[in-house]
Amino acid sequence: MSDLRTFIETVRTKRRADVVDVDREVQPKFETAAIVAKLEERGRSPLLVFHNVAGCEHTVVTNVCGSMGRLALALGCSVGEVSATFAERAEVPCAPRTVDSGPCQDVVLRGEDVDLGILPSMTYHLDDAEEPYITAAIVLARDPQTGKTNLSYHRMMIAGRNRTGILMEKGKHLDGIFAKYVARGEDMPVAVIVGVHPLVALGTLYSGSADVEEYDVIGGLLQAALDIVPCVSQPELSVPAGAELVLEGVVTHDERMREGPFGEFTGYGTGLAETPVFKVSAMTHRHDFLFQDIISGHMEHLVLSMPAIEHRTRKTAQAVVQTFVDLALPAPLTTVVAIDKADDDEPRRLIEAMLAADIYAKHVIVVDADVDPADLRQVMAAVALQTQADRKVHILADQQGTPLDPSCRHEDGRSAKMGIDATRSLDPARSFTRNRLPADLLASIDVKEFKAKRPS
């Protein structure tokens, strides 16, 4: 079975140094996050298994996808092949297989027996809300018009025995589905899935048309059908049979609650917001379930989303220009694209399309094919030497961005966006040549010959 437990054991076998078991008692408030932060300062990002979390009977697992090496292990490829393998398999979907039962329903709690208080009270940053969060929550919903299902990650603030807030960003698929239920005056049935194999996580983050079923993408990544089982209280929804924990219920159409503040992947905290309310009607889980956690703003939060973001950004760029070469995502909300442009207007067309395509696209820089988009020194040199701000910087006002951007003035995420054309003009007003050296001479030089001499 492709589940979290199997993957952890695979890591123990094939990348033994990647798993750290912590047996001493740790506090769910700040301490687990501090341990991850301290390890990252030392250049380490292991999968952490906390066996003794204060106030909780269950093991907490975090940083599962905190390294490209572990994503490569999950995909069965090399680190350098992760993006290409993700893209290749995502284009060969495989539908899930419905089964009658699964370990995710070893224990079934309904109604008054539901108690989110059995979960660890995870708090990550000093300025976060006092209420604990579920950060590795995959939310499953079905579009009431098309019947298509959607999987997506959403932070959830626990606000009682059977209630949480749920943040749904404007412009994303779940927000669109929820709007349809609100228009009907109906609550939205959902299932919240916690504790999954990394390829289930990667498939959940796939971003394409609303017609795409993420379960099919997950099957493509697994190269096998994912086993799913109908929910006990929402039988029209089915969840991965091997999940650790499932919360079933509805997001109410007419109720809001205060949510936040919460420190996000940008490294900054969002303030207070008004969010819909998730009411839990049933709670199912494996015996001795593992509680999967994602510590916001650290390596796992950034690494996990990278293949999916890069894939959808690459597809957008390739659809607009035939001269696409490569791209890099050097910072939050920022993309650098290299093209071998065919005309001088091509960068502007690409910039406008990319900024419109994604709420997480805020800044787009376009460079020539001989500039490595992952090398910020080369990129900034291109910006400095090829850009005139009055002609080649494009500002788009009042666009749909993300409220997770701390510079947005309002929680609706409306944002100005910017594109920079840092490509050389095909018809320059003045003639310049790039500095060059003979290629055969460069190839003949052995840098090992030039070593500093040790002091005598």
Q: Which run of H or of E encompasses 420?
A: strand 414-422
Question: DSSP label at 119?
Answer: S
Clarify whether residues 288 and 396 are in a common domain: no
337 domain-assigned: yes
Residue 279: name the closest of 184, 166, 140, 183 by CA: 166
Clarify whether residues 271 and 359 are in a common domain: no
Clarify whether residues 266 and 134 are in a common domain: yes
Clarify whether residues 105 and 247 are in a common domain: yes
Q: Which run of H or of E encompasses 313?
A: helix 299-320
- The mean predicted confidence, pLDDT, of the chain is 91
What is the pLDDT, as a whole number, of residue 360?
85
| Strand locations in 4-85 (E) | 19-22, 47-50, 60-62
Clarify whether residues 377 and 250 are in a common domain: no
Clarify whether residues 217 and 133 are in a common domain: yes
285 domain-assigned: yes
CB 140 within 8 A of CB 191: yes
Clarify whether residues 125 and 203 are in a common domain: yes
430 domain-assigned: no
Comparison of pLDDT for 223 and 322, the residue scoring more: 223
Q: Give the pLDDT confidence of 204-219 residue by residue, as tens digits.
A: 999 878 888 999 999 9
Q: Give the pLDDT confidence of 248-270 residue by residue, as tens digits.
A: 999 999 999 998 888 777 777 77
pLDDT greater than 90 at residue 127: no
Clarify whether residues 224 and 159 are in a common domain: yes
Write the CATH number for 357: 3.40.1670.10
What is the number of domains present in the chain? 2
> What are 120's two structure tokens?
């660890």
Clarify whether residues 341 and 378 are in a common domain: yes
- Return the percentage of the chain with pLDDT > 90, whole number: 69
57 domain-assigned: no
216 domain-assigned: yes
What is the pLDDT, as a whole number, of residue 452?
67
Clarify whether residues 287 and 325 are in a common domain: no
pTM of the model: 0.82
Q: Cα 54–247–12 angle (5° rounding)?
A: 55
Predicted confidence band at 103 (pLDDT cuts at 50, 70, 90)?
Answer: very high
Structure-token match 């920022």, residue found: 334
Residue 134: name the closest of 337, 295, 318, 313 by CA: 295
Residue 394: name the closest of 363, 424, 428 by CA: 363
What residues make up the domain containing 138? 80-292
Alpha-carbon distance 395 to 403, whole Å? 19
127 domain-assigned: yes
Clarify whether residues 257 and 331 are in a common domain: no
Write the CATH number for 133: 2.30.110.10
Q: Give the pLDDT confidence of 42-62 residue by residue, as tens digits.
A: 889 999 999 999 999 999 999
Q: Which of 292, 309, 341 is the last residue before a domain boundary?
A: 292
Q: Which of 242, 274, 292 is the last residue before a domain boundary?
A: 292
Predicted confidence band at 7 (pLDDT cuts at 50, 70, 90)?
Answer: very high
CB 136 within 8 A of CB 244: no
1 domain-assigned: no
Q: Give the pLDDT confidence of 53-95 residue by residue, as tens digits.
A: 999 999 999 999 999 999 999 999 999 899 899 999 999 999 9
Q: What CA–CA distances, in Å, run from 456 to 107, 448, 451, 452, 453?
A: 72, 20, 15, 12, 9
Comparison of pLDDT for 276 and 429, the residue scoring more: 276
203 domain-assigned: yes
Clarify whether residues 244 and 195 are in a common domain: yes
